[in-house]
Chains A and B, each alone.
Chain A
């Protein structure tokens, strides 16, 4: 049952993955002029341009070009960075750990912040806690993430001196410590959205018939909340968290620039400013892959948690 479900999910991912590569492939053709020149930038000489024309089959019809593109992709060839004189794939691999670590911090922070707030709000809808949470949420949604980061830097790094103002640190403990503020920033900036969705899911769970029945047969207050309400709400919570991964990743991209972290996000922005197309295209693909993987994992987790799906 479960394997069939996973298999079905994987099959559905294929067209999306194809679409992602198509978009990445076509984006270079949107730039006016010869794609080879765009790709080579300053290194464009008649010889290099001609070589790239051959390698990419630019004189062939588009489907052939796409085929060659996919072929290169499967061999891990994302091109050479114009700026850094090294392979794009290599650059990405060296910067990936920072981004992934930041993502982990941000995800953990988001959960730790949003879940208790949503719970406090959902327990007594329209009560004081709920109104406070909703008020904070409505203000929070309008806060730019980098602004939150700036404020945190001012308060916790400059004035309190607890955290470094920017940068990644030089040792493992340094790394872990310097990611706290950035992770917190991302978590705070997506918390309003998460809390809103989680609160609705929890209210639905708490008002449901199964909670009413559980109370009717005598299951005690907190036990009912935990056993019935939360367990059922957590299934939709996992979905909600998974769906918002796109915003989480986007958030890390911006925040890496605020805190000067050597991750994929800051590399991407820098490469746009440097007109380094291969890097931009490569990072775009990687981010899309991360997001799609997380969607897949969310679906699997959902299947594991909900016996209705697991047992078919």
Chain B
């Protein structure tokens, strides 16, 4: 796996002002309203947000796999400088070999009528022109790398004959067969039970290190991001609201929404503690409020937040926020303000 910063140190993947529209009975609202992010070589970036924030659509848009009804209506997606939106042929060549993707539910991502081994290497085989035996050997090697036990026997099974965790490993193997430099992950552990989740995350971490692979990891689970990723982008209502290194962002967020997400994550060491939830619901695609999209649920919002635009701005140390008043968030994060936070965001249970 090459570690290739590019001739001028440009990032591996650069998304600029990406806009994805969905057709909803005549109306065409923006599901993704102009987001920009970058993934450097060897870097793992987490993309977090609630359901409906547009994070999965972002991944799909990068690879050109949007479902019917959704389409890219603006922006650029640059992979090593090539705009994939403007050049669909380059995109097709890159799928599997430069960028690949794993999905949430392996049972539906794998075809039920083909054997697991075939599904693992068919794309790569076509690409490299391997013979049947070469393909078999590659498949076995790949399976072993993924920690799939008894590779030879397992590869001749059908997806429904495997356990959930094994299926997920098969899917990861299939996605990596072409040795891509960037792996897009669409909530690959959400559908698994906790012990398997842990195994898969460790596998991904190992692969990230061994292969110096870049990852763009979509999830709503902050704990996974903390384990796997170097940087994190927080999405809300189709926009990026905060961006920065994982440690700094999670310890001192600069956007109220990130703050709310962190407070909502149960703390395993504090079983007696209170559970918080951000009051209200994330807006659907068609009814995003004017001004800052988060202001209806924000504890530190003020009248200025109800109109105008709130683009992402850099605030130093490689961090950025879309909040116009990040200092208010900083105030919320201090432990002295605990009581104040509780009054603004009351706990669910006490």
Contacts and interface: CB of A to CB of B under 8 A. Distances in A.
Instruction: Indicate yes or no for A touching B, C-beta below 8 A.
Output: yes
B101 to A, nearest CB: 4
Given A216-B100, A218-B97, A231 B171 contact: no
Interface stretch (A6-14, A103-111, A220-228): A220-228
A212 interface: yes
Interface residues of A, number: 26
Contact of A308 (B68, B95, B103, B112): B112
B31 to A, nearest CB: 17
Contact of B111 (A210, A216, A218, A221): A210
B112 A218 contact: no
Contacts of B282: none
Interface in B56-92: 60, 63, 65, 67-68, 92
Nearest to A216: B101
A227 B108 CA distance: 16
A210 B92 CA distance: 17
A212 B111 contact: no
A63 interface: no
B227 to A, nearest CB: 24
A232 interface: yes
A219 interface: yes
A232 B113 contact: yes
B92 A217 contact: no
Contacts of A311: 158, 161
Contact of B113 (A208, A209, A219, A306): A306
Interface in A241-283: none
Interface string B32-46: 000000000000000
A249 to B, nearest CB: 30
Given A220-B92, A308-B160, A311-B161, A213 B68 contact: no
Interface stretch (B119-127, B131-139, B273-281): B119-127
A115 interface: no
A235 interface: yes
Contacts of B113: 231-232, 235, 305-307
Contact of B103 (A212, A227, A231, A235): A212
Contact of B127 (A213, A218, A221, A228): A218
A231 B111 contact: yes
A144 interface: no
Given A216-B101, A217-B174, A209 B124 contact: no
B100 A208 contact: no
B110 interface: yes
Contacts of B110: 210, 213
Given A216-B63, A216-B65, A231-B114, A221 B92 contact: yes
B95 A216 contact: yes
A252 to B, nearest CB: 33
A218 B178 contact: yes
B11 to A, nearest CB: 21
B92 A214 contact: no
A213 B177 CA distance: 13
A221 to B, nearest CB: 7
B175 interface: yes
B67 A228 contact: no
A76 interface: no
Contact of A213 (B97, B103, B160): B103
Contacts of B174: 213, 217
A180 to B, nearest CB: 35
B114 A227 contact: yes
Interface in A270-312: 305-308, 311
A231 B110 CA distance: 13
B283 to A, nearest CB: 26
A308 B114 CA distance: 11
B184 to A, nearest CB: 8
A54 interface: no
Contacts of B126: 218-220, 223
Contact of A217 (B68, B161, B175): B175
Given A207-B68, A215-B65, A227-B122, 15 more contacts: A209-B105, A213-B110, A213-B175, A214-B111, A215-B63, A216-B65, A216-B95, A216-B101, A218-B100, A218-B126, A220-B92, A223-B126, A228-B114, A308-B158, A308-B160
Interchain residue pairs A-B with the least CB separation, the first 10? A218-B96, A218-B123, A213-B109, A216-B101, A209-B108, A210-B111, A219-B123, A217-B96, A218-B95, A217-B123
30 contacts: A207-B67, A207-B68, A209-B105, A210-B110, A210-B111, A212-B65, A212-B103, A212-B109, A213-B101, A213-B103, A213-B175, A214-B111, A214-B123, A215-B95, A216-B103, A217-B101, A217-B124, A217-B177, A218-B95, A218-B97, A218-B124, A218-B127, A219-B123, A220-B126, A223-B126, A227-B114, A228-B111, A228-B114, A232-B113, A311-B158
Interface of B: 60, 63, 65, 67-68, 92, 95-97, 100-101, 103, 105, 108-114, 122-124, 126-127, 158, 160-161, 171, 174-175, 177-178, 184
